Structure 1
């Protein structure tokens, strides 16, 4: 087992209750800022609901895509994959033949005979060849998915359905080529690399996506009805959450009981939408306990017993423990106790080989697992050791703050540990916690809209954007749970993207009236308040493209004027490690951490995002960014870098050198991120245009050094030959030019 001989071990029974509570608060506060909290999950919920809404709109309100697991919950750890359930139109499952006959479409009747709890067979009740299904759209029919049994009944085959999806995924083209596909339980799994680091935050890491095919029930399952009825006896989940769950569908997904003799035609009942609603209702302590259990599983249990337990088991343990935890225990000082209680419950489940499904309480999630007594004992021993030394183990699970080293240096002395935390770590985890809570919430909300949603929206064509706009106007009731601070910026970026496409069309036409152009600018201005900076930079981009530098300068002055009314701007992008910025005059000063701010002063904070462009934007982009279109489908630029680049373009020759210096400072402030190289390309191009070939070369050299390890395509491969060509065109080489050429 990893770290079996831990230093700094302190048995929990050696500490007083008060000492345990103090350590627990530090642990909880640290996780709040580095791993998980309810505001992060709420922001993730909003962005996931928006992504699903836009997907539904994109496919003309026929095909639905639902996210599950950590991708939906905001509880992801380094090993997390992405779970998606695809629900096609016109196919349904029902438990009552009379109910099924009232439904328009293809209907399957549930048959649970000779099936283990939670699994069913789907017998064709009625079909209509005139009503298309998702299979018809991709070269198959519903009949191709059926299997006829000896009694003449037609059953829906999970094997055939999953094979259909694997074949479908193999034909998909991504930026890194067709994905590697396989079957994983009810899912068709697709694996490809993350070429831009938007998902894994690391170039080249494998993105694993599990696609399950779900068929909705016409009404709630009998087990679901029983569970909802029993909720009256418990405080968690709240009545509001239960009411929401009542409105959500259950689904049958394509996987049978592996021990069944007819596994190929069995389907598992899924409560994905119900369960993610439960996680979305978690408070900070529930979320932190759940994430800690997942990390413990990954670091300590999986190495001794791979594939025996899963994060779904950990989630179920948290569900059960939450149902039995009283309200006044949801406080940071009780996090250690909550995790310990979850581990004790898990240990009992391991010993009895029984973990009941939280909703379908007749289903045992440990059925057919833990069959090897040695493996079972190994898991139990790991859990017992973690319980006995829970402080040391949990401190090693926290990311971003090395609490364990501080604990070891303190020799298990709690007061010394607290003193060292105050001296050596971020003050937010000790005495500044409350003042940092609201800025962090704003950060999570800003990041969810700018990355999760906008990156997917930017490459959309005009007709797709029009469908998005129409859906917001006509079907906004479907996303009432989405917070306005996320929904409104997404609406505005969709309008901005539409305007950019119209601007490109006007540039191609080369003939347009000033009145038409002004209408376009007015429309962009109306939507440019999507954040503090980037929205206005899209407007300035249009002015530069239409050769109106004075107008672009006016927009930039408005950015400074509007931003100065805020104490701090919170940066919610990926292009800098600095998370905030102050505006003073025409100077932008980036700062590392989030600001501290009491709740009464949150009006003095505002969000700003990265500027996001697509390769199709090439006609409207300034020269340095045109080259980026050749290597990336979508790319990000830090607003500070882009603003100063536009200033360089629009300034008079006497002011260019000073503005290039300001741009250089902004580039260096953003250094050491995945997007640094692009900023150096922009700076290098400005030096090239200014005739400073030595500095241009140095910038391109630095840019290459940032991508050589991860193999990421780099526009410097185009920029450097242009630089060399211009050097060669000189009639006489001065010493600097000759040195560059020799390099």
Structure 2
């Protein structure tokens, strides 16, 4: 075997280990595709669309901790010409004309053609001659705080941090037509035969978007909007083979860890969008004839040389609008010269320049230094089968944001009906069927939440009828979801006063939740899982093994209402085992022996667990819950110690104020009694 091919295979396997094997990437995309289908059904009722973008949507999974998305109004439509105006009902839809810039391809001005009822648009309009134009700068300013009031500008996006997650949200507009400035894209792709015709057809159908950012320094910067093909790019990335996708990942790592030059404003000179564009051009131009694991480094080197050429000429053509130079106002002058020098130095080093990339340095050093270094690129030799289950269940949990996207019961039932219909679409694979079922479980739980809220305004008889419906729906939800979803059923039983039923249900859960085959926070005993669960259908494996944190936005427990009212974003999630033991303490108020047994078990869990049952960032709320349970059992000294321990943990929910107030309350009680 040629040396470069052998080393390439070693790097390929390492990249699969870092970023995901073909099946893991497919799992991430399938889950996001289905979540998007369900969210679209939900969003249509709100007159808004949200599309996830960035690395996570491309399939890089949890490696991509940030969230990028685009939001736009469905009742505002951008058209490429006045001849398209008759497609839409102007009384239902605000029409916006895209006037593409002739001087700077890829930019456009937006003329408002019909009235708008949307304040952010109306307040962003500027009259120029006889036309009303939407200012990109004003629109950016007017939408900046829609998601979080403390968001800051990052390019066209509102950027900030939501808990542990960094976000970039672009508020733009959709255009269902393919813009005239990109008409050469289709014949070029057809002649080059990439992307394939069926993908190309989908890409054209998607149209484009406009996002609020102009060319820096342009006289019309505050009026210019950038034409975005982000949805088209997602389609193209998904048609790549896995070696091409790993090359993309390698380029992103190389950018992040090696190409660290900054521009005059102290911002990174290059971005991952440049790397994606370069890879598109390299694939389309067939610079690499055969993409496979043994040619990964050849693919990377072709991209590197393409980058070097673009930097040298200060010209990187946009993949969709070739006249649009992505390097304009970015790579020029001193920055261009320094980057050129860095890249030429690396070019002279050859492929060993990758040794500067710390993520793959060890495996690259080993492969270069030992000619006997051989490694299989077969997926079955890279990861065990259980990793596919863990990845699927983790993606289902982390993308379960459909849970909070419903505004009322009718909204829930409408989405439930559409989702159940999707479940019967032919040719779904087993993972996709399980994904739909899990989201049906989530929608049912949301339905219960809204029904339960409405029951407070009813007569006793009406309320009882609604509560019985809620319990039945939640039982169905628990049977279709994760193992830990059963806790919501027990939680509702406790909330409505059916403590004896809840105790029976919780005892069964407690017996199983400590089993080694239970998956919590991606931790599981692989041998035990294979032995006890491995032969079961995927749906059964999910129902029996997956434990995730309990989201108390759905059904609030009275004893935590104080914490909930003061928590960051009014959000509290609790480790499932901790939630079970807390409920057993509360449900056994009339049985001191059983109550103390549950309290002792919770005490031992907090003092002995090293991450198996309590995620590190949730130790604070767990100590808080132990303190509350100790107060319930009138152990005020123990409660005081638990609250003090809660203060020492990572403030994930920002409960310090609640904890200090509880400490004061306990100290007063202790002093009085």
Both structures adopt the same fold (TM-score exceeding 0.5): yes
Written as runs of structure 1 = structure 2, the 5 A alignment for 1:144-183 is 145-149=125-129, 152=130, 154=131, 156-157=133-134, 160-170=135-145, 172=146, 174=148, 178-182=149-153
Partner of 2:315: 354
SS in 2 for 1:365: coil
The answer as to 2:278 corresponding to 1:312 is no
Q: Counterparts of 1:474 and 1:278 in 2: how far apart (Å)? A: 28
Deviation, 1:444, is: 3.7
Q: Deviations over 1:574-621 (max 9, x none)?
A: xx4x5237999xxxxxx9xx9999899856732635344345844xx1
Q: 1:598 to 1:315 in 2, by over 3 A?
A: farther
Q: 1:366 to 1:677 in 2, by over 3 A?
A: same
Q: In the alignment, which of 4, 16, 21 is matched to residue 8 of structure 2? A: 21
Partner of 1:272: 230
Partner of 1:555: 505
Q: Deviations over 1:634-684 (max 9, x none)?
A: 221122221233233345433344433443454423456211111122223
Q: Deviations over 1:545-579 (max 9, x none)?
A: 22222211333355479989x993433xxxx4x52
Question: Which one is further off, 347-356 or 501-510?
Answer: 501-510
Q: In the alignment, which of 260, 267, 279 is matched to residue 302 of structure 1? A: 260
The answer as to 2:563 corresponding to 1:627 is yes
Q: In the alignment, which of 496, 507, 510 is matched to residue 445 of structure 2? A: 496
Q: Is the 8 A contact 1:569 1:605 kept in 2?
A: no
Q: 1:275 to 1:340 in 2, by over 3 A?
A: same
Q: In the alignment, which of 510, 529, 533 is matched to residue 483 of structure 2? A: 533
The answer as to 2:589 corresponding to 1:645 is no
Q: Is the 8 A contact 1:568 1:604 kept in 2?
A: no
Q: Is the 8 A contact 2:492 2:555 kept in 1?
A: no
Q: In the alignment, which of 369, 372, 376 is matched to residue 336 of structure 2? A: 376
The answer as to 2:472 corresponding to 1:519 is no
Q: 1:240 to 1:21 in 2, by over 3 A?
A: same
Count of aligned pairs: 649
Q: Counterparts of 1:459 and 1:101 in 2: how far apart (Å)? A: 33
Q: 1:242 to 1:516 in 2, by over 3 A?
A: same
Q: 1:445 to 1:155 in 2, by over 3 A?
A: farther
Q: Counterparts of 2:513 and 2:6 in 1: how far apart (Å)? A: 45
Q: Counterparts of 1:107 and 1:50 in 2: how far apart (Å)? A: 27
The answer as to 2:170 corresponding to 1:211 is yes
SS in 2 for 1:209: strand
Q: In the alignment, which of 119, 138, 147 is matched to residue 138 of structure 1? A: 119
Partner of 1:82: 68
Q: In the alignment, which of 410, 413, 422 is matched to residue 466 of structure 1? A: 410
SS in 2 for 1:536: helix
Q: In the alignment, which of 366, 370, 383 is matched to residue 414 of structure 1? A: 370
User: Gaps spanning 5+ residues in structure 1: where?
Assistant: 1-14, 200-206, 420-428, 585-590, 731-743
Partner of 1:11: none
> TM-score normalized by structure 2?
0.81
Q: 1:49 to 1:579 in 2, by over 3 A?
A: farther
Deviation, 1:353, is: 2.4
Deviation, 1:413, is: 2.5
Q: Counterparts of 1:302 and 1:145 in 2: how far apart (Å)? A: 39
Q: Counterparts of 2:458 and 2:438 in 1: how far apart (Å)? A: 30
Q: Counterparts of 1:21 and 1:193 in 2: how far apart (Å)? A: 38
Q: Counterparts of 1:534 and 1:494 in 2: how far apart (Å)? A: 16
The answer as to 2:190 corresponding to 1:190 is no
Partner of 1:485: 434
Deviation, 1:53, is: 4.4
Deviation, 1:299, is: 3.2
Root mean square deviation, CA, Å: 4.4
Q: Counterparts of 2:276 and 2:48 in 1: how far apart (Å)? A: 28
Deviation, 1:704, is: 0.9
Q: Is the 8 A contact 1:94 1:110 kept in 2?
A: yes
Q: Counterparts of 1:516 and 1:531 in 2: how far apart (Å)? A: 22
Q: In the alignment, which of 447, 450, 460 is matched to residue 394 of structure 2? A: 447
Deviation, 1:212, is: 3.6
Q: Is the 8 A contact 2:20 2:60 kept in 1?
A: no
Deviation, 1:316, is: 0.6
Q: 1:304 to 1:338 in 2, by over 3 A?
A: same
Q: Counterparts of 1:714 and 1:460 in 2: how far apart (Å)? A: 30
Deviation, 1:341, is: 2.4
Q: Is the 8 A contact 2:643 2:659 kept in 1?
A: yes
Partner of 1:92: 78
Q: 1:677 to 1:325 in 2, by over 3 A?
A: farther
Q: Is the 8 A contact 2:553 2:571 kept in 1?
A: yes
SS in 2 for 1:543: helix
Q: Counterparts of 2:535 and 2:324 in 1: how far apart (Å)? A: 46
Q: Deviations over 1:51-84 (max 9, x none)?
A: 4543333x1xx23233333353344867956342
Deviation, 1:706, is: 0.6
Q: In the alignment, which of 209, 214, 219 is matched to residue 251 of structure 1? A: 209
Question: Which one is further off, 108-117 or 547-556?
Answer: 108-117
SS in 1 for 2:84: helix
Q: Is the 8 A contact 2:437 2:481 kept in 1?
A: no
Q: Is the 8 A contact 1:496 1:527 kept in 2?
A: yes
Q: Is the 8 A contact 1:615 1:630 kept in 2?
A: no
Q: Counterparts of 2:345 and 2:532 in 1: how far apart (Å)? A: 39
SS in 2 for 1:707: coil
The answer as to 2:285 corresponding to 1:285 is no
SS in 1 for 2:258: helix
Deviation, 1:625, is: 6.5
Partner of 1:610: 548
Deviation, 1:179, is: 1.4
Q: Is the 8 A contact 1:560 1:583 kept in 2?
A: no
Q: Is the 8 A contact 2:50 2:70 kept in 1?
A: yes
